[in-house]
């Protein structure tokens, strides 16, 4: 059976993360049967990481505040998490199902496909986003 997505519920969670007037900085989307639905949202990135277990596959939309001494700005990333215990068929399917998520989650600076919990470290993701962000004025402040 083809995977579906609860567009309305997922879009609401996505918009909450993008809204500068809320403190929400992450939203997760999981499989419930053959439907992708919101799996939670929050303000603490560590709570998102706890959802990324060996037996789960999910998508995360995360807000990070990045920048340098001259400018701070919100940067968004799309994370596809595939736990180590996920079967080959489910691994293959997540790539095609990601297009459904991208119909909702449309604006992000960088995308990650992660299976190794070490790659979920906030510092690693921030560095990658900073590289994708262009000009870096930190060196001038030294």
- Residue 141 in this model has a pLDDT that exceeds 60: no
pLDDT digits (tens, 9 = 90+) for 62-84: 999 876 667 778 899 999 999 99
The DSSP call for residue 120 is G
The DSSP call for residue 84 is T
The DSSP call for residue 119 is G
Angle at 119 between CA 117 and CA 121, to 5 degrees: 85
pLDDT digits (tens, 9 = 90+) for 28-75: 999 999 999 999 999 999 999 999 999 999 999 999 987 666 777 889
CA 124 – CA 43 distance, rounded (Å): 19
Antiparallel, parallel or unpaired: β 57-67 and 26-32: antiparallel
Give kind and range of the element (H or E) at residue 78.
Answer: strand 72-82
Locate the domains of the chain by residue range: 4-134
CB-based contact 20:74 (threshold 8 Å): yes
Pick the CATH number of 4-134 from 3.40.50.2300, 1.20.1440.130, 3.40.20.10, 3.50.50.60: 3.40.20.10
């Amino acid at each position: 059976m083809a995977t579906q997505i609860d567009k309305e519920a997922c879009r609401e969670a996505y918009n909450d993360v993008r809204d500068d007037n809320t403190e929400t900085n992450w939203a997760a989307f999981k499989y419930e049967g053959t439907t992708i639905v919101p799996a939670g949202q929050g303000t603490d990135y560590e709570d998102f990481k706890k959802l990324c277990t060996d037996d789960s596959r999910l998508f995360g939309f995360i807000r990070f505040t990045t920048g340098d001494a001259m400018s701070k700005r919100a940067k968004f990333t799309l994370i596809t998490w595939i736990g180590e215990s996920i079967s080959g068929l489910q691994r293959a399917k997540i790539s095609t199902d990601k297009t459904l998520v991208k119909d909702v989650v449309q604006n992000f600076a960088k995308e990650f496909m992660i299976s190794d919990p070490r790659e979920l470290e906030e510092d690693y993701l921030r560095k990658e986003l900073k590289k994708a962000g262009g000009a870096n004025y930190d060196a001038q402040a030294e």
